[in-house]
Amino acid sequence: MIDIKLIRENKELVKENIKKKFQDQKLPLVDEIEALDIEYRDCKKKGDDLRALKNSKSALIGALMREGKREEAEQIKADVSKYGTELEDLGRKEEELEKVIREKMMTIPNIIDDSVPVGKDDSENVEVERFGEPIVPNYEIPYHADIINALKGLDKDASGRTSGNGFYYLMGDIARLSTAMISYARDYMIDKDFIYCIPPFMIRSDVVNGVMSFAEMDAMMYKIEGEDLYLIGTSEHSMIGKFKGQIIKEEELPITMTSYSPCFRKEVGAHGLEERGIYRVHQFEKQEMIVLCKPEDSMEWYNKMWKYTVEIFRNMDIPVRQLECCSGDLADLKVKSCDIEAWSPRQQKYFEVGSCSTLGDAQARRLGIRAKGENGNYYLHTLNNTVLANTRALIALLENNYNEDGSINIPKVLRPYMGGKEKIERK
């Protein structure tokens, strides 16, 4: 949510930003909010003025009574009583206007950074840099589900019986490899001085509304029937929610945390779920990172964070690239975002394995997360980045470490988590 001062003082900037995000249907909202805000401030001023008048007349009643001017005092009492009724009416109107303004403000997209390329959708995202040489071996690399099946590591028939489409059983060395990647990513982030955390896997609706847009919530999150709880789609939501309503001492900044969690997603949309594989599923595990920092430090942290993910994948012998997200591909709360994509030698193209974003003060403003500085309190900037999501990282690792005989080389950094094992072979 942007600061309403932007609409009061520079609404053309807000409108231009909406156009850059190709959301022209939201343009009328800016003028609507401006008109409602004028009405709200006028209502508030009337209330403040009337309250001051009521207080001054109330003080006068006592003086008149002491002077024996009872009739005059009774008349002022009647006026004061009338003011009370008017104040109640003004208070209700003020509350209603504030609610409507907030609801409309929640749909206005955040102001994107000047460096963000303008484009309609993800087809216009821009490759920035590649890391590692993408290699296509001179032998065929099977579909990842077939690789895992050959290693007795996947059972989707059983998960179909227990849970339906979009779920899976990982087993044996493949399950161990999945856990090894998460463990390595966790320890890597701890070595970068991030505090390790296991957060709640369910959050309340006020936290959901604080960390994401309504459209994202409907497309992603599972609601717990009969309770004000949602299963998390990513642990950044409960991690940012941890600081809801808090005023943080400036000397405690930046706050850097890395979290493990399962993630649950509806995966609603045209792309659908994978019938055989584990690329797009309802449940997976993820190591995440978040940062809360001063506004002036957020871009520096943004560039640190996505580079951590690049290094983790390169350490697992996986070529990757950084892809800058264009304006039309940014969720409404994001200021700037990039995807990290891993090389698929089977498809001979890159695919997304992580995303890094800075959201400015949008989440902090919604959730009331502030810092106490020398010149008063201010809203913090929040950032998040995928360290490693187990299913997609597993696909990338298997394809880039696949041998012609069907075995999988285990990258050196993962071997300590695999009991020293160097290779997974067919049994």
pTM for the model stands at: 0.89
Domains of the chain, earliest start first? 5-105 (1.10.287.40), 122-424 (3.30.930.10)
Amino acid residing at 330: L
| pLDDT of residue 1 exceeding 90 | no
| Higher local confidence (pLDDT), 388 or 215 | 388
| pLDDT of residue 216 exceeding 90 | no
DSSP 402: B
Q: How many CA atoms lie within 13 A of 71 on its CB side?
A: 0
| pLDDT of residue 286 exceeding 90 | yes
- The whole-number pLDDT of residue 82 equals 77
- The whole-number pLDDT of residue 202 equals 97
- The whole-number pLDDT of residue 63 equals 65
Region 15-25: what's the mean pLDDT? 97
| pLDDT of residue 239 exceeding 80 | yes
For residue 323, with 0-12 CB atoms within 10 Å meaning exposed, 13-18 middle and 19 or more buried, which class applies?
Answer: buried
Q: Does the N-terminal peptide bond of residue 28 adopt cis geometry, omega within 30 degrees of 0?
A: no
Nearest to 353 by CA among 415, 405, 397: 397
| pLDDT of residue 34 exceeding 60 | yes
Region 301-313: what's the mean pLDDT? 98
Question: Which run of H or E residues covers position 155?
Answer: strand 154-155
| pLDDT of residue 62 exceeding 70 | no
| Higher local confidence (pLDDT), 120 or 271 | 120
- The whole-number pLDDT of residue 49 equals 87
| pLDDT of residue 192 exceeding 60 | yes
Average pLDDT, the chain: 93
- The whole-number pLDDT of residue 269 equals 60
| pLDDT of residue 153 exceeding 70 | yes
- The whole-number pLDDT of residue 59 equals 65
Q: Which residues does residue 223 pair with via DSSP β-bridges, in sequence order?
A: 230
85-143: pLDDT as tens digits: 888 888 999 999 999 999 999 999 999 999 999 999 999 999 999 999 999 999 999 99
* Spatial distance between the Cα atoms of 261 and 281, rounded to a whole number of angstroms: 15
Q: Are strands 255-264 and 336-344 parallel, antiparallel or unpaired?
A: unpaired
| pLDDT of residue 270 exceeding 60 | no
Lowest mean pLDDT, pick from 13-27, 106-120, 262-276, 280-294: 262-276
The SS3 call for residue 65 is helix
Q: Which residues does residue 382 pair with via DSSP β-bridges, in sequence order?
A: 292
| pLDDT of residue 38 exceeding 70 | yes
From edge to edge, which strands make up the β-sheet containing 202-203?
202-203, 230-231, 222-223
Question: Which run of H or E residues covers position 71?
Answer: helix 70-105
Region 249-260: what's the mean pLDDT? 97
- The whole-number pLDDT of residue 268 equals 65
Region 289-306: what's the mean pLDDT? 98
Region 336-348: what's the mean pLDDT? 97
> With pLDDT > 70 as the criterion, what percentage of the chain qualifies?
95
Region 160-187: what's the mean pLDDT? 97
Contact between 188 and 303 under an 8 Å Cβ cutoff? The reply is: no
Report CA Rg, the chain.
Answer: 28
Confidence of residue 56 (pLDDT cuts 50, 70, 90): confident
Q: Which residues contact 93 (CB under 8 A, 6 or more apart)?
A: 43
* Spatial distance between the Cα atoms of 381 and 366, rounded to a whole number of angstroms: 12
Contact between 112 and 21 under an 8 Å Cβ cutoff? The reply is: yes
**Concatenated DSSP letters of 163-205:** T-TT--EE-HHHHHHHHHHHHHHHHHHHHTTPEEE---SEE-H
379-427: pLDDT as tens digits: 999 999 999 999 999 999 999 999 999 999 999 999 999 999 999 998 7
Region 200-214: what's the mean pLDDT? 92
Lowest mean pLDDT, pick from 3-17, 160-174, 202-216, 234-248: 202-216
**Residue 254 structure tokens:** 């930046």
| 298-315 and 172-191 helices, crossing angle to 10° | 140
Q: Which residues contact 243 (CB under 8 A, 6 or more apart)?
A: 255, 292, 367, 369
**Residue 188 structure tokens:** 């890597």
Contact between 260 and 287 under an 8 Å Cβ cutoff? The reply is: yes
* Spatial distance between the Cα atoms of 283 and 288, rounded to a whole number of angstroms: 15
Nearest to 287 by CA among 385, 377, 151: 385
* Spatial distance between the Cα atoms of 83 and 58, rounded to a whole number of angstroms: 11
Q: Are strands 202-203 and 230-231 parallel, antiparallel or unpaired?
A: antiparallel
- The whole-number pLDDT of residue 13 equals 97
Phi, psi of 367 (to 5 degrees): -100, -5
DSSP 274: -
Tell me how crowded residue 39 is: count the other CB atoms within 10 A of its CB: 15
Contact between 351 and 339 under an 8 Å Cβ cutoff? The reply is: no
- The whole-number pLDDT of residue 146 equals 96
Nearest to 147 by CA among 317, 277, 341, 272: 277
Confidence of residue 271 (pLDDT cuts 50, 70, 90): low
Tell me how crowded residue 350 is: count the other CB atoms within 10 A of its CB: 20
For residue 327, with 0-12 CB atoms within 10 Å meaning exposed, 13-18 middle and 19 or more buried, which class applies?
Answer: buried
| pLDDT of residue 328 exceeding 70 | yes
